[in-house]
Amino acid sequence: MTKTDYGFQGLMLMLLIATLLLLCVDFQAAWAEVGEKAAIHEAMGPVETEGNPLTRKRWSPYTTGIAIGVLSWLAFLLIGKGLGVSSSYAKTSGMVEKAVKGEKVYEIEYYQEKTPKIDTGWMLVFGIIIGAFLSARLSGDFQLTAIPPLWKEMFGDNVLIRIIVAFIGGMVLIIGARWARGCTSGHGITGTLQLAVSSWMALFAFFIGGVITAYLLYAVSAL
Amino acid sequence: MLDKLHENRPAQLIIGLFIGILFGFFLQKGQVTRYEAIVGQLLLMDFTVLKVMLTAIITGMIGVYSLRGVGLVELKIKPGSWGATGIGGLIFGAGMAILGYCPGTTTGAVGQGSLDALAGGITGMIVGGMVYARIYPKIKDNILQKGDFGKLTLPEWFHATIPEAVVGVIMIGLTVFAALEMAGL
């Protein structure tokens, strides 16, 4: 029933978004500057196919995708669920609040659902830091930086501005992830691979919201 | 056999950590832990993120549905609605463009030494979780329920069998890869 009720609004929303996306693609042709492309290449480097895979700086996106896909089989088998990240951040928020106000944290309804405790998913997120560190150290890619090259190209090299914008982005990111009940991992890989309609819808919404916002920021940077 | 493993909490924490280490390793090796990978994708200048995700989806789908076929795994479908998934997804996308990382790659970026991900991204996400905990009671009975379609799956929606849906997703994925490679992206 409800599906029919909102069908028309949904269709109009999709038309509006499609129009905005077309505008973005149109602008892209005019705005695709050489400087931005060079900055992307500088940061990510070329795909490497020679030598020890562990010490290569960059794998092919297809190799990476297959590795993550096989890892999600292991996750479903061994921990009974797929890869997911964002709910562990909501739990961490609860842990910080629990450290300040103790058991009163459970008066906040959301923390009754996302209990502020270390669980399998939280350990998984912690493991990501270690894994990425190992990968970067093995390939000589580890480097302390505060300003990504593409950011520098678009917005300059003020560290404070970068940190403040990243903070705002992080807030918006987790509010959106918990609102949608999943992020690029939980919906974007784990949910979509199970053929969930909610996750495919989320993946499209991530890209639509992301492309529009990225172009708005890019337009601001060009002023 | 696997149920017992799933109930063993210490084992679960260690396996979770191990899977996370591999996940972080692969994300960094794919260079998707870079700000440039996410923003380059959203500016439609670099398609690494889309290629990684679609390959992971296809590989994962084949394995998980095969394992389910022999009864070794159970699906965990998230319920969806226009109000929760659609609106939340658009907000998430905006956040991803502003921060330049997603939650998993922010975490990975910290491991490769990106201080903006640590000082801005992680702290922002933790505060964002606190803010959402305050928003949640106000939206859970109205906005989040709008246009609810529950735990629907693609084969159910299209009245297709699971093998048909799996083959369909593989075909779409391969078409996208071919188009991107031919366009030199």
Higher pLDDT, A68 or A218: A68
How does residue A1 score in pLDDT terms, banded at 50, 70 and 90?
very low
- Hey, which residues 75-104 in chain A have their CB within 8 Å of chain B? 75-83, 85-86, 89-94, 96-97
- CA distance, residue B43 to nearest chain A CA (Å): 6
Q: Using alpha carbons, list the distances in angstroms from residue A69 to A53, A66, B22, B121.
A: 18, 5, 12, 26
Whether B123 sits inside 8 A of A170 (CB atoms) is yes
- Hey, which residues 39-58 in chain B have their CB within 8 Å of chain A? 39-46, 48, 51-58
DSSP one-letter code for B88:
H
Q: Return d(Cα B38, Cα A73) in angstroms, integer.
A: 25
- pLDDT at position A35: 84
- pLDDT at position A18: 72
Mean pLDDT of A96-117: 95
- Return the exposure string of B86-107: e unless at least 16 CB atoms fall within 10 Å of the residue's CB, then b: bbbbbbbbbbbbbbbbbbbbbb
- pLDDT at position A13: 73
- pLDDT at position A19: 75
For the stretch A16-62, pLDDT in tens is 777 776 676 666 555 556 788 889 999 999 999 999 999 999 999 99
Residue (of B167, B166, B107) closest to A185 by Cα position: B107
Where chain B has pLDDT below 70, the residues are: 1
Q: H or E segment at B10? A: helix B9-29
Whether B13 sits inside 8 A of A119 (CB atoms) is yes
- pLDDT at position A3: 46
DSSP one-letter code for A81:
S
- Hey, which residues 15-74 in chain A have their CB within 8 Å of chain B? 24-25, 28, 32, 36-37, 39-40, 43-45, 53, 56-59, 61-74
Chain A residue numbers touching B148 (CB-CB < 8 A): 2-3
The C-alpha angle B23, B28, B33, rounded to 5 degrees, equals 105
Q: Using alpha carbons, list the distances in angstroms from residue B87 to A55, A204, B30, B38, B94.
A: 41, 11, 29, 20, 11
| Residues A94 and A111 sit within 8 Å (Cβ to Cβ) | yes
Comparing A4-13, A157-166, A175-184, the range with the smallest average pLDDT is A4-13
Q: Return d(Cα A73, Cα A67) in angstroms, integer.
A: 10
* Coil/strand/helix, residue A16: helix
Q: Is this prediction's ipTM beyond 0.90?
A: yes
- pLDDT at position B1: 63
Mean pLDDT of A115-142: 97
Shortest CA distance from A130: residue in chain B: B21
Other CB atoms within 10 Å distance of the CB of residue A61: 26
Q: Using alpha carbons, list the distances in angstroms from residue B125 to A176, A191, B100, B119, B136.
A: 10, 22, 13, 11, 16
User: In this model, does residue A11 exceed pLDDT 80?
Assistant: no
User: In this model, does residue A80 exceed pLDDT 50?
Assistant: yes
- pLDDT at position B84: 98
Q: Return d(Cα B36, Cα B117) in angstroms, integer.
A: 13
